[in-house]
Amino acid sequence: MNLKMLCTGAMALSMLTGAALADHGGALDEPTKMAPFYTAADMKTLKSEADFKASWTGLKDEDRATIKQECGGIAADDQNHGAFCTMVGHQ
């Protein structure tokens, strides 16, 4: 019985850890959706707040909802999407 519980616990822990380490995926990793928010194709520098807002309002409602949902679990210091998600929070 203890071995069964130990194996079940290890399996659950490995599934949770795998999900936490996975890439964000979704809209945040689609260059076609993200490019309008950045100044260049390398997508390193965000546009000004006014230009960001213009790009944001140009999205479909469903795309804005998806991005907000994906940004919900991303910290501001996330190397990939933190600054972007911080700007989304200001919209």
- Mean pLDDT for the stretch of residues 65-85: 90
Residue type, 43: M
DSSP helix/strand/coil, 64: helix
pLDDT, greater one: 59 or 90: 59
Read off the pLDDT of residues 49-69 as tens digits, 9 standing for 90 and up.
999 999 999 999 999 999 999
Distance of CA 2 to the CA centre of its chain: 39
Average pLDDT, the chain: 81
What is the DSSP code string of 23-81? ---GGGG-HHHHGGGBSSTT--SBPPHHHHHHHHHTS-HHHHHHHHHHHTT--TT-TTT
Q: Does the structure show a pLDDT above 90 at 22?
A: no
Where does the pLDDT of residue 84 fall: very low under 50, low under 70, confident under 90, or very high at 90 and above?
very high
Domain boundaries, the chain: 24-89
